[in-house]
Structure 1
Amino acid sequence: MPARRHQTLQGQTLGPVVPETGTTRGSRQRLPETGISRFDGRGRHRCPPSLLNSRGGSFTNYDYCMARGRRLNPLGPSTTLSMRVLVYGADAETALGRMCARGLESLGHDVAYVERNLRTFPLIGPLNLDEAHDRFETTATELDVDAVLVMKGYDVSQELLEQIRLSTDAVLCNWNPDNPYKIRSKERVATKYLDTLPAYDIVFTWGEFLLDRLRKDGADDVRYLPFAHDPQFHYPAKAHNEYDCEVAFLGHYSPKRERYLSALTDLDFQLRGNMWRWKCFDWSLRRCYYGAALGHPSYTRAMASTDIVVNVVADHNLPEHNMRTFEAPASGSLMVTTRSEGQQQYFPDKEACVMYDDPAELQDVVAQYLDDDEEREAIAARGREWVEGHTYEQRMAKLVNAVSEYK
C-alpha cells in the first residue's frame, strides 16, 4: 500500500488527513463533508518515458490527457487541488467515457484513458480480454492514480478491482449507462456486473429508480448522476443539405421504435441508425431509411438540420431519461420525446420540449409543431438554453466532490 500523501495548503504541510468520524469500508475511510481532500496539488503528471509510443505524444492503446486548467480549492483562492484519474471505457471518440474524461480535464485534473477495445466474436466472446485488463491495471499502477472510473464494467472482475485498490489506494468508481436489470429492454440481468458492486467505493447511476436496488445488490454508496451533453459534440451546427428534413430520428433499431416511428412515414422524415435494414419489415418506414448510425460531426449536423428530433426512450430507461434527452436540445432543434418523469424535471413538456404517450399522439404533436414555426422555435430555444446547465464537466464536478469524501 503506498504511503498516504500529504495535503499542502498555501505552502504549509498539513499532514495526512485522518477522519474523526465517518463510515469505514475495508481500508477505505469516508470523510465527513468538510470540503478537505487528500489531493496534494502536485501539478501535471509527466508520463513515464516507457509508456510513450514512437511519436512521443500518444500512448499505445490508451490516451493520456494532460490537464489544461486548474481547479480552485474551496479552502482558499490561492490553492489548487489536482487529481489523477484513470477512466476505463470504450474507444469511440463520442463514448460516454471519453466525454467524462474531457469533463475532468476541463476541471484541471490529469486524466489517463484506457480503451476497452475488445475484439468480440459471436459464440466466442472477447479474445483480448486479458490484454485489456493488463493495460488497465498497469496504467493505474504506473500513474499511481487517485481515482478510477469504470464505464459499464461488464468485463471487469471483483479480483481485478481489488488488485488495483491494493496497488494504488485509488477510490474506485463505476458509472453504468445501462439498466443492469433489463438489458436491451429485455428481462435479462447483468449478474456478473452486479457481483462486482461491493468492490466499488462509489456506484453512480443515471436512474433514481435504480438506487435502492443497487444498494440491495451490494453497492455501499450509490449516487444519482444523470446524463448530460458535451459542448464539443452537441451544439447548433450549421445545417447541411444532406440532412435537411422536417423530422429526424437517430438511433438503432428496436421493435418499440419501429412501432412508434411508423406513424411518421407520411412526413419528410429521415431515419438513420444500425440494424434497421435487417430487422425492420415496415416497408413504408424502410423508405425513410437514410443510412447507418452517424459519428461526429455528422451526428451533430443531422440533428441541427431538422426541425424536429424525435426521441423514443427505451423501456429499460423509463421512467427516467436517456443520453439523447440532453443531446437533442443542445442541437437547437425541437425535441419530441417519450413522456417520462425523469425528462419532465429537466425539460418540462410544452416549455423546453414536447412529449407524447403513444404513436397516435406522436403523429399529432409532430404535425402540430411543424405547422407552428413560432412556437416550435420558441420551445426549441428554451430547451437549448436550459441544457447549457447540464454538461459532462458539471457531472464530473459532482463525481470529484464525491471522491474527495474518501480521500
Structure 2
Amino acid sequence: MLKKVILIFLSVILLLLSGCADRKEIDDYAYVIAAGIDKADGEKYKFTVSLANVNAIGESKGGTNGITNVSAVATDFYSALDIINNTVSKKMNLSHTKLIIFSADTARNGIKNFTDSFVRELKIRPGTIVAVSENCGDYLENLSPVLEINPEKYFKEIFETDNTNYSVRSYLSDFFYASNGADKTMVLPFLGVMGENALEKSDAGENENPLGENDFDINQLPIKAKNKAMISGIAYFSGDKMVAGGTLHENIYHLLMTKSAKKTAYAVKTDGEILAVLLSEFRKPEINVKCGENPKIGINLFLDCETVYLPDKVSEKLGSDGLEKFVSEDLKKNLKSYLSKTSTFLKTDTENFSRYAKRNFLTQKAWDEYGWAEKYKNAEFDVNVEVNVAKFGVLKDNINDSKK
C-alpha cells in the first residue's frame, strides 16, 4: 500500500514538472504590434516588424516607448519572421498585431496573396487594421507615440475610435471579403511621415483632378511633434490593387457619404477670406440609385455647421441667411468634383453605391447582366446638401436688425 502511495506521489510530481517545462511567461515572447511590407529587388519584399518590449513600455527609453523595429528581406512574411528570430532572443507572437501596412508599390501590384495568408493565420485577428504608405519602414521608424504608454493601445486610439477625423476604418476581414468579391470596394488609410513625401503627386491624380482649393499639402503643415508618423490621406482600391491616393479632404467627402463622418473642421474661401466651420451629420445621408444606360445617383446630406471663424468682411457679405447657402454650395461643388474623380478618372465605386443599385433588380442574373462596374464610370450625380448653421458671435445683419 505504501509503495502505491509513493508511486502515485512521484507520478503527480513528474506531471507537474513536465507541465511547467513548456510554460512561457509574458516576457518570453516578442509581440509584433505592427508590420510593414515594402517592395524589394526581384520577387522579394522587405518586411519590417515593430516589436513591443513589455519590460520597457512606459519608460520611453531613447524615445521609443518600448518599440523596436527589425527588418528582413524575404519572399514571404513567415520566412521573414524566421530570419528575424535569428537576431531576436524571443519567439515572435502575432496575437497582438494591430496594424499591417503595405507600401504603395506593393499595393499597386495587388495584395490579395498577403491578406489571404494573414486571414489563414489564426493568431492574426480579423480586426487588424490595414493601411498603405509610400515607405512602410520609414513610417514605423518615425513612429513615436505620445500621451500613450502602450503602443498597441495607440493604434487602437488612432484608427478605431473618434479621436481622429481623417481615418477610415479598414479591417483585414473587410478587405479580404472585398478583394474576393465582385461588388464591394475598399479605401484604406494612407500613412506618411511629416515633412516627407507622404503622398506622391501622381497618386493624387494631379493631371486629371488636382488638389481642391480647400485641400492642403501634408508636407506644408506647420506642425512640430515628436511623433512624425501620421495619417496623410486615403488609398483608393479596385479589387486588391491600389489605383490612386487621395487627400485628407477627399477622405472627409468619403466619410460624409458613407455615414462615417465625425465632427470635423472645414474651411471655405471667399474673396481672400477664410470661413472656418465644424461639420457634423444630424441625419444619415439619403442615397437613391436609378439604373438606366447611365446610372443616376441622388445624394442628400444633412449637416449641422458650427461657425467657429467668421471674418467681418464675410459676415457683412453673406449675413445669416447667406451662410447656409454658401457652405452648402461649396460642399456640393467639392463633392461633385470628388465623385467625378472616383467614377470617371479612377473608375472605381469607392462609396459602394452598388448596394443601392442592386435594389433595382429582382435576380442576381439580371444584376450581373447590367454590368455595374462598366456603367458606373458614366454615372450622373445629383448632390444636395442641407446645412443648418449654428451662428456664433455677432453677424452684421443681426446688428442692423437690432437698430431698427
The TM-score by the shorter chain falls in which range?
under 0.3
- TM-score normalized by the length of structure 2: 0.27
Higher relative contact order (CA 8 A, sep 6+): 1
Kindly indicate which of the two structures has a greater share of residues assigned to strand. 2
